[in-house]
Amino acid sequence: RLPVPKLEDTIKRYLNAQKPLLNDEQFRKTEQLARAFEKGIGRELHEQLVAQDNQNKHTSYITGPWFDMYLKAREPVLLNFNPFMSFNPDPKPEYNDQLIRATNMTVSAIRFMKTFRAGYLEPEVFHLNPEKSDTEIFKKIIRFVPSSISWFGAYMVNAYPLDMSQYFRLFNSTRIPKLNKDELYTDEKAKHLLVLRNGNFYVFDVIDRDGNMLKPSEIQAHLKYILSDNSPAPAFPLGYLTSENRDTWALLRKNLLDNGNEEALQKVDSAMFCLSLDDFPIKDLVHLSHTMLHGDGANRWFDKSFSLIITKDGTAGINFEHSWGDGVAVLRFQNEVFKDSTTTPAISPQSQPASVDSSRAVQKLDFKLNDALKAGVTKAKQTFDSTVESLSLNMIQFQEGGKELLKQKKVSPDAVAQLAFQMAFLRQYDQTVATYESCSTAAFKHGRTETIRPASVHTKKCSEAFVKGLSQHSTEELQNLIMECSKYHGRLTKEAAMGQGFDRHLFSLRCLALSKGLPLPEFYQDQAYASLNHNIISTSTLVSPAVQLGGFGPVVADGFGVGYQVQDDWIGCNVSSYPARNGKEYLQCIHKSLEDIFNVLKGKKIGS
């Protein structure tokens, strides 16, 4: 179970995270408020949270508040919440044809779903010592141990089974807009796929009456039929509504239902997943990011648990709604679909589609729109266009080294990337700001994420030495400063993964106070608390053989969204920003910072 940290540890960690962001006077005030909270109302709330947690052993203390946080948010899911991860191309170029890849990936996705629902999906396990635990003999033995104690057997060999409770929401699931708080809807009995092309909606069954998957050649035939349908794009594409403010969309949805669209919406909501087929090829990686993060808005349904997006040239990616689950579940799905569709593809370029009557099997959904709905779509499109217009996406690949070299030098690759983000911001804006790195707590029952706070007194000191004080430091001193950052970041990461951060704990205590109708404790009214949670640098990382790159929007108007991956011999960064910040310049500063850090680690003297 996810532990509730000790209150004194939480306060200590909170103050450590505040230290680099505040001047002495501000820090004194924040420290006073924190100590008063720790002794007073905070202690009472903490004891209530622990008691509540002990009564709810089937779940974790963060589950309720975290779902509420997502589902009560009224901002659009587009750019504010939905991230994307794009697939690497199929290693066999001729398989990157749009129809072939769409068929193969759809078949692999259904195989994954059937394997999962039948209880045959291999458990997700984090192996600290893979030589001992990631072996056939271990799997054979653990298979016969009753599940109530099998996790203990895994712990003995340093293997940590991860929580998979989110997986059931991958399929046949949608976030439904409701006033004040949305709902998650899942219908595991539905057998059809939703396909979007040119803003038109199509559905067809991919599972037959006996629960078997349709033949791949039939799925291929139906997708071919959709790709060759030359119906015009709708004048009022409904997809735009899913990019609206949630209350606005909730009212429009009610209007849609009252206007005779219940059956069509039901098909959309219950579909296994959404397959978006785009009619253009990808020009470059920036174009790829824009396409997978937001696209044109007409050919998307952002509320679906996930959408598989495939462009004209067979480039594929996933855009997912974030309330139901985290990157861990989606990444596992992506890894399996990539592996299955590339190593055992269902169809080949030589395969012929089945001779079936697709015009009967495929249903094109028609929506009845009144003037209010037409106006709603028009307004949603205008908002979408202006929002997307203001979004910049930029990226770099740092080619002068990666994980291998950093491990040789005994520094944490993630710590170096995070240090570069701090150094770059200091170089560009001359300040240290609230920074967020997400860390999965899936090692615990119903764990979600915890925050790592990469901005520390160590990164601030090191960044200032590199940016402002090079002449006063020897290469060896600079190396030592990097080492300090690496050690501290390693500790923070380990604490977060073990559920020992401070963010989720303080967040839960705040939610508890509000749910009891108490006045908001003074601690939470501190400007420093608000600033720490205004995450100007929001970061997330993943490395996978299936994923080419990932990204997300900034979480605040004056922020950066930084998706990054540290590979064996290069480091990639994908940065999103709005006009308040210059993402291109920030990336140049990140590149310069990485260059300086690597040169210092190699023992070279660097110039300012």
* Catalytic sites, residue numbers: 322
DSSP string, 162-194: PP-TTGGGGSSEEEEP-SSS-EEEE-TT--EEE
Strand partners, 46: none
| 434: amino acid identity, one letter | A
The residues pairing with 308 across neighbouring beta strands, listed in sequence order, are 275, 318
Cβ-based neighbour number of residue 405 at 10 Å: 17
> Hey, which residues does 128 pair with through a beta bridge?
none
CA distances from 491 to 415, 452, 501 (A): 10, 10, 11
Cα radius of gyration rounded to whole Å, the chain? 25
Contact residues for 513 (Cβ-Cβ < 8 A; gap 6+)? 41, 45, 520, 521, 524
The b/e string for 147-156 (b: 16+ C-beta within 10 A; e otherwise) is eeebbebbee
- Longest CA–CA span in the chain (Å) reads 77
145 DSSP assignment: S
Contact in structure between 398 and 565 (CB atoms under 8 Å):
no
> Is the dihedral angle over the CA atoms 150, 151, 157, 160 positive or is it negative?
positive
Question: Three-class SS string for 43-75?
Answer: HHHHHHHHHHHHHCCCCCCCHHHHHHHHHHCCC
